[in-house]
Each structure stands twice: as structure tokens, then as C-alpha cells.
Chain A
């Protein structure tokens, strides 16, 4: 089945934009609307577009990693961000923060790492569902 030419062109332009936008949503999530879950859904919709236009096999190649592995990596990242607090003698999942002076006082913390884990997990789950539905 050949999808429409318009769709293909549009997808080629839109996919990188959507992915960039999803990263932006992920990063602004701590203090403003956004975050790992919604960012992950946006990124997954980019891959969804791609697979409608070019088919699931091309999407797997475009994604480069197995979505199943993405789920595992995502959960592991979130778990690690929670366990990190133990090394500093705090209870599981306690948020730890550092201030980066060379980057204009940017605050980085384990909640962001946790959100990155959520982001990866959501992409993995959604994309593997979409691809399985298309492949069967």
C-alpha cells in the first residue's frame, strides 16, 4: 500500500519538529505544564505519523532501538533516579538538586531524570502497541 505523496512530504518535515517539541515539553515540565508523560506521547505520535506514511518496518529502522528495550531502559532510568537518594542517606525517591553556576544558575535534579525515564517508557509502550497493531 502506497500512502499519499503529500503525507510523505509532510511527515518528513513534521517528524523532527514533533520530536523537538516533545523534548521541549519534557524539559519545561517541572515548573510549567508538560513533563515526561505528555512529551512521550508527542514523540510517540511522531513515530505514529512515520509508520502511517512509510510502514512499520521503516519505522523500526528509523527508531533504531527495539521499543521493548526502550521500555526497559525507561523504567530502569526512573528506578535509578529513585535509588540515587539512597547513596545520600535519604529515603527512596527523595528529590536531589544541584545548581550549575556555569550555566546561569540552572537547577538540575533527580525528578528530571525520573521524567526522562517516564518519557522513554511512554514512547516504548505506545510505539510498540502501534507497530504491533500495524504488523498483524
Chain B
């Protein structure tokens, strides 16, 4: 069998256990956590290479073959997201070391961080719909404790909102799973796809699809259930907010892409029409929220929502080009968004710990390099050529024009302009305008700028040479839209 599929889940667990059992904290714990994150990243990259060269891979835990046992599957989409998760884990861990989170937010930051990585990786690799639910819970528990750990009033309020909304989502998800299981008698996603293809059941697909759509919609923070996100992401320390913003909502998007390309593929018109409307409203509401805010982290939180809209738009259009665009967007967005949150943390470091735009200023004069560092992900988010955001938006808009959905194309373009408006607002207020109070001219610590530089250079790299990633996204889209390959990889020769 294939241990490459298990290592990405086991390594963060081993790291977390080593951190707990050693009883270390401070410096030593931080270095151990970084070594664990690097090992995770290395294993994830080799998994991605294995999938790119050898096709979809599957493994069966405990030697119980599919569809009875627990299956782990890595196709292009899952492997790519797992690899990006490894990169995020490493860079955010690096940032967390300098931020001294293990001391400022109590013992246990690094073990929980690794458990969160384990949950995210597990969710991407799960080949079984109930297993996906379990990984969602692992992720939810780890992220809830990380959010509430600081114990301040604002953090507790945020975590109550966060956990309530996510528990509702989990309950709905579980109800959908129950419905599917009662009707088909299987939980394995490949087997479900096969059974529903053989015996089409429009009512079952629509009803359980509605449950899944709602549950994953809450996780992904789409209109009209996005309100928990800006209510909670502004509270935790920078590193925690950065990893949340990069990965958590994207697991919801991943789950939507997986289930609606693999399982719920019949009578899709109603669902895709609905998704398209949801995508448009998510983009608009998110960006309007962002424009109205005056706190860096709140602006960035609202931008997560509006960007999720673009990915849903790609899924809703359901053409090979659109799905490729959504995959490209997903990968680009994780990197850029995490980076913006990290840079937001650096801005606050130079501004006496304040994220309020009113109290910031003059950073361009004192920290010119930081300004350059900020411009790369910010302009990429707004979609300026030649950065990664331009190509992802370009592909999606081209797909929209091909599908002749003119209104969504218009909305996407308008939202792009508004994104630029709010990015230039941060630029004007934090960097350009003269500062109100004289403070914070010191150099930026290496532990802060290094992770931001790594992520910015990845963004630049994708932007200057988008070919390989775009070809990979097209291959991924072909895999997603032709589910036979996935089913064959999981169930072997059972497929007729």
C-alpha cells in the first residue's frame, strides 16, 4: 500500500504529541514545531509529485478495502491543496516563533497548530464522506481552542460566534450524510457516485445536496451565511488569523467542489444556477463590507468572503475552463491571503500593535521595503498583471464570457475594482499619509519578514510564469469533471 498518503496526516500528529509529551515550551518547542512543519511540507510535496507523475492514488486503512474501510484518496486537487497547506504551515509557524505565541497565548499553541494542520490535511485526503465530517470536527476543535486561548473578552466573543455557526453547519452536514447513507447504504464517495449514476434518484440528490450545500456554504462563508467570519477573524493573534484565513474557509470550498463534481452530478442546472447567484452576491457583499471597514484585519476578513465568491463562480459555471480557473484561484488565494494577514501583523508591529487605519501612517517613509512587500499580495488580490491574481481572474472571466453569463462577468469586474479601492485605502492610510504619533521606526525582525518574503516570492513566481500552474489546473479540472478516473482509482476493477 501507499504510506505517502498517511504520512501527511501522521506527521503533524507526531509533532503535536512530541510537543505535549516533551513538556517543552518557549524556544525549544518552537524549533521542534518548525522541524515538524518542514517535514510535513516535504512529505506533502513528494505526495504531489507522486500524484502528478503517477495519477490518482488511494490507500485503505487497516487493509479493509473500499467501499467498506476508511479510504484516503489523493487526486490532483487534494494533493495540490495538501502541498499548499504544508507551505502555509511552515511559513506561519516561522512567523509564530518570532511572535512568541507559545508564551503570549499560553502553553499549547504549537501542538494545537499542528493538530489544525492534521485536520485540514485529513479533510483534503478523506475519500469517505463521514471521514470528511470527522476531519471537519478535528479542525473545528483545534481552531476553536486556538481562537479562545488568549482569553480576552474580544477573543471569547469571537469564538462563541465562530463555534456556534460551525456547530450548526456540522449538524446540517451530518443530517445530509444520514440521508445519503439511509438511501444508498454507502459512505465512500466513489461508491456513492457509482451508485447514484446507476440508479439516478433526483429527489435524493436534491435533498441531500441541499444539506451539503448549506453546511459547506457556512464553512466556506458564502452569502447569506458569511457573517460569522468577519465577527471572529479579527480577534486572534496574527499567526492564528493568518492560518485560519488561508485554510479554513478553503476546506469548505474544497468540499463543495468535491461533492458537486463527484456525487451530485445529476439535474445540476438548478444547483449551478443557485450557486451562480450565491457567488455573485458573495462577491458583492464581501467587497462592500471591506470598503466600509477601517481596521486592517476586518478589511482583509471581508475580502476573504468576496474572494470565495470567485471560486464559487468557477464551480457554478462548471465548464473545464471555469473549474481550472477556480482551482488556480484557490491556490493563488491561499498564498496571498495568508501573506496579507502576516503583513497586517507586521504593520501593526510598527504601529504600536494597532490595526486601526486612523492610528497608522508614514510607513512608506520609514519602512519602504515593507511597502513593497505589501504591494505584491495586495495588487495580486486586486488582480493586477503580472501577478497571480490577474491570471486567475482572467481565466474565470473568460469562462464567464464563454458561458455567456454576462451579469456575473460584470459583477466580477466591478468587484475587482472595489477590491483595488480598499487595498489602496490601506496603502493610503498606513503607508502614505504622515503618521499621527512618532513611534516604531525600528527594523522589522527577520522572523517577521522572512515568511512574508517567501510567500510574496511564490506569488511573484506564479505571476511571472503562470503556465505550469495553469496547465496543472486544467488537468485537475479534467480529472474533476470526468469522475470515472477517481472512481476507478478508489474501487479498482469493480467499475464496469
Instruction: Find residues 55-88 in chain B having any chain A CB closer than 8 Å to their own CB.
Output: 59-63
Q: Which residues of B contact A123 (CB under 8 A)?
A: none
Main DSSP-derived SS at the B contact region: helix
The residue of chain A having its C-beta at the shortest distance from the C-beta of B22 within the complex is A72
Task: Give residues of chain B (17-44) contacting chain A, Cβ–Cβ below 8 Å.
Answer: 17, 20-21, 23
Interface residues on A, range: 10 to 19
- Determine whether the beta carbon of A73 is less than 8 Å from that of B21: yes
Does B6 sit at the interface, judged by CB under 8 A? yes
Contact A91 B20 (CB under 8 A): no
Chain B residues with CB under 8 A of A76: 17, 21
Q: Tell me if A91 and B13 are in contact (CB < 8 A).
A: no
Residue of A69, A73, A90, A91 with most chain B CB atoms under a 10 A cut-off = A91
- A75 near B13: Cβ-Cβ < 8 Å: yes
Q: Are the CB atoms of B10 and A91 closer together than 8 Å?
A: no
Task: For the complex formed, measure the closest distance between the CB of B304 and the CB atoms of chain A, giving whole angstroms.
Answer: 32
Query: Given contacts A83-B10, A90-B63, A93-B62, are A72 and B20 in contact (CB under 8 A)?
Result: yes
Q: What are the interface flags for B234-265 relative to A under an 8 Å C-beta threshold, 1 for contact and 0 otherwise?
A: 00000000000000000000000000000000
Residues of A13-66 contacting chain B, CB below 8 A:
none
| Pick from A68, A71, A79, A91: contact of B63, CB under 8 Å | A91
Closest Cβ of chain A to B282, distance in Å, is 38
Tell me whether A91 and B1 are in contact in the complex, defined as CB-CB below 8 angstroms, given that A79-B10, A83-B10 are known contacts.
yes
Q: Are A91 and B17 in contact (CB under 8 A)?
A: no
Chain B residue contacts of A68, Cβ below 8 A:
20
B14 within 8 A of A: yes
Q: Is the CB of A69 within 8 A of B6?
A: no
| Interface pair B17/A75, CB less than 8 Å apart | yes
- The tally of residues in B whose CB lies under 8 Å from a CB in A reads 15
Which residues from chain A contact B3 at a C-beta distance below 8 Å? 86, 92
Contact partner of A92 (CB less than 8 A), chosen from B14, B21, B62, is B62
> In the docked arrangement, what's the CA distance between A69 and B59, Å?
32
Whole-angstrom CA separation of A54 from B229 in the bound complex:
45
**Contact B20–A92 (Cβ < 8 Å):** no
Tell me which residues across on chain B come within 8 A of A92, comparing CB atoms: 3, 6, 10, 59, 61-62
A128: interface (CB < 8 Å): no
Pair A94/B17 contact, Cβ less than 8 Å: no
CA gap between A68 and B111 in the complex, in Å: 12
Task: Return A128 CB to nearest CB of chain B, in Å.
Answer: 12
Chain A residue with the shortest CB-CB distance to B17: A76
A contact residues around B10 at 8 Å (CB): 79, 83, 92
Closest chain A CB from B198 CB (angstroms): 29
When distances are taken between beta carbons in the complex, the residues of chain A under 8 Å from B62 are: 85, 91-95
| Complex Cα spacing A90 to B63, Å | 7
Given contacts A68-B20, A72-B21, contact A91 B14 (CB under 8 A): no
- Report how far A89 CA is from B17 CA in the complex, Å: 24
Please give the distance in Å from B23's CB to the nearest CB on chain A.
8
A94 contact set on B, CB distance < 8 A: 62-63
Q: A79-B10, A86-B3 are in contact. Are A93 and B17 (CB under 8 A)?
A: no
**Chain A residues with CB below 8 A from B1, complex form:** 90-91
| Complex: A76 Cα to B62 Cα, angstroms | 18
Shortest CB distance B21–A (Å): 5
Chain B residue with Cβ nearest A75: B17
How far is B21's CA from A131's CA once the two chains are assembled, in angstroms? Answer: 20
Given B17, B59, B63, which contacts A72 in the complex, CB threshold below 8 Å?
A: B17
Are the CB atoms of A79 and B14 closer together than 8 Å?
yes
| A90 vs B3: C-alpha distance when bound (angstroms) | 10
| Closest CB in chain A relative to B60 CB, distance in Å | 6
A77-134 interface with B by 8 A CB criterion: 79, 83, 85-86, 90-95
Residues of A within 8 A of B14 (CB): 79
Instruction: Please tell me if the beta carbons of A91 and B21 are within 8 angstroms of each other in the complex.
Output: no
* A69-B111 Cα distance, complex, nearest whole Å: 13
In the assembled complex, the Cα of A76 lies from the Cα of B16 at a distance in Å of 10
| Cα–Cα, bound, A71→B19 (Å) | 12
Closest to B5 in A: A92
B29 vs chain A, min Cβ distance (A) = 14
How distant is the Cα of A103 from the Cα of B107 in the complex, in angstroms?
46
* Whole-angstrom distance between the Cβ of B47 and the nearest chain A Cβ: 15
Assembly CA distance A126 to B61 (angstroms): 28
B21, A79: Cβ atoms closer than 8 Å: no
| Least Cβ–Cβ distance between B236 and chain A, in angstroms | 22
- Chain A minimum-CB-distance residue to B23: A69
Instruction: Tell me the minimal C-beta distance from A21 to chain B in angstroms.
Output: 29
Interfacial chain B residues near A91, Cβ < 8 Å: 1, 6, 59-63
Report the bound CA distance from A73 to B13 in whole Å: 12
Find the residue from A79, A90, A92 having the highest chain B CB count within 10 A.
A92
Q: Once bound together, how far apart are the Cα atoms of A95 and B59, in whole Å?
A: 16
Can you name 12 extra interface pairs (CB under 8 A) apart from A71-B20, A92-B6, A92-B10? Answer: A69-B20, A72-B21, A75-B17, A86-B3, A90-B1, A91-B1, A91-B6, A91-B62, A92-B3, A93-B62, A94-B63, A95-B62
* In the A-B complex, the 3 residue pairs with the closest CB atoms: A72-B20, A91-B1, A93-B62
A→B interface (CB under 8 Å): 68-69, 71-73, 75-76, 79, 83, 85-86, 90-95
> Could you show 15 A-B contacts with beta carbons less than 8 Å apart?
A72-B17, A72-B21, A73-B21, A79-B10, A79-B13, A79-B14, A83-B10, A85-B62, A86-B3, A90-B63, A91-B1, A91-B60, A92-B3, A92-B10, A92-B61
